Structure 1
Amino acid sequence: MTRQAVVIGGGHNGLVAANYLARAGWHVTLIERRESLGGVVGRFEYLPGFASSITNSPGSFEGTILEELQLQRYGLRFHRPEATLLHPMGDSLFVGWRDQSLVKQQLDSYANGEYDRHRSLVGRLDALGAAAGMSLWQRPESLESVIDGIEEPWRSEFERDIVHGTLRELLDSALDSDEAKSLMMMLALNGQLVSPDAAGSAFGLMLRPISRASSATDPMGNGSSPLRGSVGLPIGSMAAIVDALVSSALAHGVQFRLGAHATELELNDEGRVAAIRLETGERITGMDATIATVEPSRLAGMLPADWQPETDRPSAPSGSAFKIALALDGLPDIRNAPEGPPPEALLEAQFRIGPSTDYITDAVEAGIRGEPSSHPIIWGLIPSLTSPGIAPDGHHLMSLNVWHAPHALGAAYWRDHGAEFADQCIAQVETAFPGTTDRIVDRRWLGPHELEAEFGLTSSNITHGDMLPEHMLNSRPGRSFTAALEQAGVVLGGAGAWPGGYVTGIPGRNSAARVLTMDREFAA
């Protein structure tokens, strides 16, 4: 008899999970509250003729998943620009070239020998990732057991630098220049309300090293695929990944139910999910397994109030995401651009506004205090340069993801002050890319509450909770909560599950692997 599964949530992780289960021979129904698929990775029309994904995460999707699901057979194509990052640094511009000799030249211009120090830091983190024995493909045991399993001298270094130490302390001990520290600080703190002076704040730098060390522990047996970050820019924006996932899912028999808002999980006498009740009152029954990719506190709200009172039910996270889309009638200039490369080639890269460690710290700490940053951190992209069809001829779309616009200020605050905050963000972009303001023909911003309402981002938190050590490993989102859910036949598969947020697809793949493992164990 064909096994039946329901996936709650049609974002990229839900689509990944549905694809893997369908390829394993399961009958899969995916239900999605919105009338379109992909969540923040799917196509969203900001303005007439200007449509792209909300996320600006080029190259983040896991190469293993791309290969296993054969997404290029379903139209997915990539462009690999030679410049992958623009990071303005006050009086200079760092360009993240694929050519490491050019990177060395820039880092050493900030401080003699800085490239070697940077490579040494990356090497240390890679060694820590290998020594820790963690895998992105399997939820680790507790933080305590991970530490106990690390051999010296790596155990002491892991505890000192990653668990108890701060990101600033790690960077200050390893690097000399503020420019190199800023590059790493932006990478570690992406989108989170976490201070670089908070214990455990360096954990964000461990995800890549853990990825490198993960192939040997992949339960699906794939140890040869490329790391995420190496695949390039999807042609058609990040939404092209969703298009390919949808096409693959349809080809393998996945059934989609759009506009289907799951509001309640009904349990039988054995404590297992017997039905999923929709907002309309309809009940979906007959599933052998359920994968939920919604934010964990929302999922907890679907369960009976007296369900497993001893579990560590997750609470709603705090968040601060803000979105701006600019319709441009031409391309801006680039302050401090290197001579030689055409501006279009440089502007294909993602850009990050966070020119110093003080700037980054001030923005984060303003958000933690519940204040909108006067000089916000911004991750931007002009996706129309590599995907011409997403903007009208002769125009471009500049997509800005802004952090530290606290959701906690309330919807009324952002209705009244959102336009002013957007002006402050555009002013920061103008400083780095002169002429941006003059080329704006239209714009749209989505405040924290609009992002929450449209995409289900609780408190506008893009990662479904902070990614500090105490919130990761098997504590993501809570070890007893996760175990009790699995006893009820529900597996978490979204950003609130290990290994956390960002557009990798790993939580979706992990949830499908977990369902298949549980099914084999049950059959035995």
Structure 2
Amino acid sequence: MQQLGRMVIIGAGINGLVAANLAQQKGWQVTLLERHGEVGGACVAATAELEGQQHDYALGASVLGLMQDFVWQQTGLANRLQAWAPTHPKLVHFPQEQEPAWIYRDPERLDQEFRQRFGEKGDLAKFRADEDRVVRFLQQGYATGHAPTLEAAEAALGAELTALWISGSAQQLLTHYLTAERTRLYMAMTVTESSPVSLREPGTAFTIPMMDSGSVFGSYYGFVRGGIWQVTRTLADLNREMGVQIHTGCHVDGIDVDAGTVHSSAGTLPFDELVLATDPVTASRLTGNEPLAQRTAKERVLGSAGKLNLLFRRPVRWKHGSTAADSDAAFRFLFAVDSLDAFEQATLAVLDGKTDYAPGYYQVYCEGAAMRQQGLHENYDRLAVFFKNLALGQSGEQLAAVEQDVIGRLRPLIENPQDLAWSRLLTPRDLQQRFGFPGGNLEHTELAPGQLFAERGYCSHPQQRFYGFGDMERVSLCGSSTYPCGSVAGTPAWMCIQELLRHRSGAAVSQAGRD
């Protein structure tokens, strides 16, 4: 194998780990630095002490879904881990409705459900078909590592679909295809999962297909046996076996870009390529790049998601579902609002920090039931509730009333709420303090206008190197703030290294021509 030189990667979250894996495979000698005492970034676990027993739960991400199957396969994760996704229809509860709506995978059954339950008269089949075209276009770009452009989108999709699905607003997209308020509400949910953005803002339509662009489970979400944190722990093991040097608890004192050295508690490390798998604020500070520091200071970075982890002494028995084996593991969604206007008001209510909590929606991940489907029977049943909307203000410990409100919304849906034994609320403030995210957002920066699609990069010459950082020739950025986003797990890193390989190859060809 050709030796490509020395690469230092800063940040051992999912992107840093994927970048290290691919780069080491391709011939770089990789050193990976992580400031925390463990790898994983936001994909890590904490331990609850409960009734004399210990039980792990996810601090950040809970579910696997947006990772690309080629990343899952080619990193070696597929050979080490077991993963599974429920096929049972998702169940969606709306205010004042006794029975949930069923979100079938089959488009015809879903269309019938929405027509009967919501009075939908639009073209849901065309919505799904057009979305699938956009998703396939995105996935092709992910795989080849080619940065996005509106010109490429128009060439592949046509001007109309590009305007609707990529550059347009979510509100325009939803009203174009759908008529019923509740159908639009359900489809709008993913737009604000990562960021408190208005549905009326340009570019927000793109979040919908992007959040369906995973391929491990074919655009669906699922679970890793043992917990999502097994992904990063196992990837670190695979990387070490390949020869990657990983230093945890490592402080970076400074970077001399011109000299090609990183000064750290692990020593002075020379590099031929430096990859920053971290947030852009940290990357700007470490490289001493003032123009980038000024740019990142103006970016929108707020997160507004909460997460409530729950442990039950016995398996949760849901009041709604079916006799299917995976019914208890089905995803469940609860809406606290019943119109797009109310959805919008709740989303934006927490922006100024004066309102701590504005109920919007709740996504219930039945992690314990998913473990049992994979043959893992734990001492306690585990639920995770991802919900909106919280301000970047107080920690979970300070918001006991919010915690009780979320639990109160779940109780009517559960036959055995008395088995609840433990809970912990995590807020954007907790994420900011635990992981160092500038505004408590798992994506580092909001999925907002000017920070989406082809504008989600930091290179001074993006046509040449989209994942470059500023005008620094040997420095790349592939954290969650880069395209597509952190939720599409490991994809920014994959695309960054693929682009870097092409750039290196092109530079070598140019040099050979000059010689």
Category of TM-score, reference length = shorter chain = 0.7 to 0.9
2:452 maps to what in 1?
472
Q: Determine which of 222, 229, 248 is the counterpart of 1:258.
A: 248
CA offset at residue 31 of structure 1?
A: 0.9
- SS of the counterpart of 1:186? helix
Count of residue correspondences? 491
Instruction: Decide which of 175, 178, 201 is 1:175's aligned counterpart.
Output: 178
1:218 is matched with none
Kindly indicate whether the alpha-carbon contact (under 8 Å) linking 1:200 and 1:469 is maintained by their aligned counterparts in 2: yes
| 1:322 corresponds to which of 306, 324, 337 | 306
Equivalent residue for 1:506, pick from 487, 491, 503: 491
Question: Aligned-pair distance for 1:476?
Answer: 1.6
Is 1:8 matched with 2:10?
A: yes
Match for 1:155 among 156, 159, 178? Answer: 159
User: What is the distance in 1 between the residues matched to 2:308 and 2:139?
Assistant: 40
The 8 Å contact of residues 48 and 55 in structure 2, kept in 1 or not, is answered as: yes
Give, in angstroms, the shift of residue 112 of structure 1. Answer: 5.8
Please tell me the residue identity of whatever aligns with 1:32. Answer: E
Offset of residue 289 of structure 1:
0.9
Secondary structure of 1:458 counterpart: coil
Residue 521 (structure 1) aligns with: 506
Q: 3-state SS of the aligned residue for 1:324?
A: strand
Measured in 2, the distance between the counterparts of 1:362 and 1:293 equals 34
Partner of 1:372: 356
Report % sequence identity: 17
Q: Which moved more, 1:75-84 or 1:155-164?
A: 155-164
Contact 1:326–1:442 (CA under 8 A) maintained in structure 2: yes
- Aligned-partner Cα distance in 1 for 2:303–2:178: 30
AA matched with 1:61:
M
What is the identity, as a one-letter code, of the residue corresponding to 2:7? A
- Kept in 2, the 8 Å contact 1:363–1:376? The answer is yes
Q: State the match for 1:216 in structure 2.
A: none
Given the alignment of the two structures, is residue 348 of structure 1 paired with residue 344 of structure 2, yes or no?
Answer: no
- SS of equivalent residue, structure 1 residue 442: strand
What's the counterpart of residue 215 of structure 1? none
Distance 1:321 1:191 in 2: 7
Q: What residue number does 2:512 align with?
A: none
Instruction: Identify the residue that residue 493 of structure 1 maps to in structure 2.
Output: 478
Contact 1:196/1:361, CA 8 A, preserved across alignment: yes
Q: Give the deviation of 1:196 after TM superposition.
A: 1.8
Distance in 1, matches of 2:295 and 2:449, equals 20
Aligned to 1:61: 67
3-state SS of 2:399 partner: helix
Q: Would you say 1:295 and 2:279 are equivalent positions?
A: yes
Q: Does 1:78 align with 2:83?
A: yes
Aligned counterpart, 2:210: 207
* One of 275, 288, 295 as aligned partner of 2:261: 275
CA positional deviation for 1:235: 1.4
Deviations 1:461-495 (A, max 9, x none): 11121223521234224342864546341111121
Tell me by how many angstroms 1:416 deviates: 7.1
In the alignment, is the contact (CA less than 8 A) between 1:62 and 1:228 conserved in 2? no
1:500 deviates by 1.3
1:188-203 residue pairs with structure 2 within 5 A? 188-203=191-206
Residues 120 and 180, structure 2, Cα contact 8 Å, conserved in 1: no
Residue 28 of structure 1 corresponds to which residue in structure 2? 30
Unaligned runs of 5+ in 2: 462-466, 510-515
1:187 aligns to 2:194 (yes or no): no
Contact 1:60 1:228 in 2 (8 A): no
Q: Which residue of 2 aligns with 1:245?
A: 235
Distance 2:323 2:210 in 1: 35
Q: State the secondary structure of the residue aligned to 1:460.
A: coil
Q: For residues 301 and 505 of structure 2, what CA distance do their matches in structure 1 show?
A: 34
Aligned to 2:381: 396
**5+ unaligned residues in a row in structure 1: which ranges?**
213-224
Q: What displacement does 1:499 show?
A: 1.0
Name which structure has the greater RCO, CA cutoff 8 Å, separation 6+. 1
Q: Which residue of 2 aligns with 1:414?
A: 395
Q: Structure 1 length as normaliser, TM-score? A: 0.82
Shift of 1:38: 1.3
**Displacement of 1:434:** 5.8
Cα distance change, pair 157–24 in 1 and its aligned pair in 2 (3 A): closer
- Aligned match of 1:363: 346
> CA–CA distance in 2 between the matches of 1:368 and 1:311?
21
Moved more, 453-462 or 124-133: 124-133
Distance 1:2 1:78, change over 3 A: same
Structure 1 residue 392 displacement after superposition: 8.2
Are residue 455 (structure 1) and residue 445 (structure 2) matched?
no
Q: Is the 8 A contact 1:51 1:391 kept in 2?
A: no
Deviations 1:438-466 (A, max 9, x none): 32212222332221222222211111212
State the partner residue of 1:439.
419
1:134–1:140 Cα contact (<8 Å) kept: no
Give the deviation of 1:257 after TM superposition: 0.4
SS of structure 2 residue aligned to 1:377:
strand
Distance 2:195 2:302 in 1: 9
- State the alpha-carbon separation in 2 of the partners of residues 64 and 475 from structure 1: 25
**Equivalent position SS for 2:460:** helix
Structure 1: which amino acid aligns with 2:141?
S
Alpha-carbon shift at residue 386 of structure 1 (Å):
2.4
For the 8 Å contact 2:6–2:29, the answer to whether it is kept is yes
